[in-house]
Amino acid sequence: MSVCITGWAHGKFGKWPKKDSEILIAEVVEAALAHAAIDPADIDAIYLGTMNNGFQKQDFQASLPGLTSSALRYVPATRVENACATGSAAIHAGINAIEARKARNVLVVGVEKMTAVSTETAGDLLLGASYRKEEADIEGGFAGVFASIAESYFQAFGDKRESMARIAAKNHRNGLANPFAHMRKDFDFDFCNTVSEKNPTVAGPLRRTDCSLISDGAAAAVLSEAAHALAFPRAVAFRSAVQVNDWLPLSRRSKTHFAGAEMAWTRALADARIGLDDLSLVETHDCFTIAELMEYEAMGLTESGQGFRAIDEGWTEKDGRLPVNPSGGLKSKGHPVGATGVSQHVMAAMQLAGEAGDMQVPDARLAGIFNMGGAAVANFVSILERVK
């Protein structure tokens, strides 16, 4: 427990035509510093996560948090990118700086402005998180990549569209309680399970309700050295923080098993000296419902091919054995790529601090977070525990 989260802020995800990244960043930086009750002059480093890849012409975005306060003018600021796991990569960079004794307090920001381009362009930009030499021509863009994963999974274990619809319905139901969510609508199982004009097929077996949202948004967290974190109003400690990478080309690994994700979970739980059943909740990377289904297996909730049981039998409901995505996940909350990993850490910290409002899981003590870049290529798992 060498690093704690001592403050945070979360913007409302959505489509914000009048807000660019600079505005989105400013909103959460000021709020996170205030929440931590820290003077900006006490920030030793800034790590900003954004994928960009053409979503905006303004790049070099690590320089933007410094514009919020003259006290941040000379603070070292670094941009981090790791596809859809960019936010967690920025968190890890902050942890590393503190553990290396290069900083005592670090500001981490995750941001993405995605809606200024067309849906078609956004789909192509997101394909930058795939192995373009082999996967660039997959029909349906990045949704097509996960459609191919779903098809392979179905061939091995049977058609799981009904279970995927239950995941979508669960996350939309949870998202109703999240004031920061992009889409706060209660799409029930029947709607999610039926192809219709309002829920068309996107790629292969994936319907619109199986896919996360293209969103604008930002989130921020203050990380502090554990030795002085108890001086802050609140402190949520990292019991573990693990990254495991896997091969980028899908052709070189099984599409029916997220091996890198499983290894990350195994290492993180071992580092934290706990079992999965000790967790109060998990925030996991449901970019597509098939991903959440397979992540149940990767975290050890079920055996391979049995992930459907976790949702069909109600284990992952908010009042179930292990609540998964009580925030609504990417499915309801939205998926501004660079912000997602930071958002997940903020949502988990809110739960542990008892500050999650209507999202609150009762008596939350330990939280797990899984954030992945690409199709389970960059795999990040954090285990958090409140210490103050």
Residues with a catalytic annotation lie at 84, 335
Phi, psi of 122 (to 5 degrees): -60, -40
Contact indicator for 122, 55 with CB cutoff of 8 Å: yes
Contact indicator for 367, 240 with CB cutoff of 8 Å: no
Q: Which of 215, 189, 183, 156 is nearest to 332 (CA)?
A: 183
Rounded to an integer, what distance in angstroms lies between the CA atom of residue 185 and that of residue 187? 6
What do you get for the CA distance between the two ends of the chain, in Å? 13
Rounded to an integer, what distance in angstroms lies between the CA atom of residue 286 and that of residue 98? 30
Chain-centre distance for alpha carbon 356: 17
Contact indicator for 378, 258 with CB cutoff of 8 Å: no
Rounded to an integer, what distance in angstroms lies between the CA atom of residue 379 and that of residue 246? 8
* Strands ordered across the beta sheet of 366-373: 77-80, 45-49, 105-112, 217-225, 3-10, 236-245, 378-386, 366-373, 281-283
Rounded to an integer, what distance in angstroms lies between the CA atom of residue 212 and that of residue 218? 16
Rounded to an integer, what distance in angstroms lies between the CA atom of residue 180 and that of residue 283? 15
Rounded to an integer, what distance in angstroms lies between the CA atom of residue 15 and that of residue 170? 23
Task: Using alpha carbons, list the distances in angstroms from residue 343 to 111, 188, 190.
Answer: 10, 25, 29
Q: Extract the tokens encoding 158.
A: 């049977």
Rounded to an integer, what distance in angstroms lies between the CA atom of residue 97 and that of residue 119? 37
Range list of β-strands (E), 81-185:
105-112
Q: Which of 138, 128, 145 is nearest to 287 (CA)?
A: 145
C-alpha angle with apex 211: 207 to 217, nearest 5 degrees?
Answer: 150
Q: Extract the tokens encoding 142.
A: 């990045």
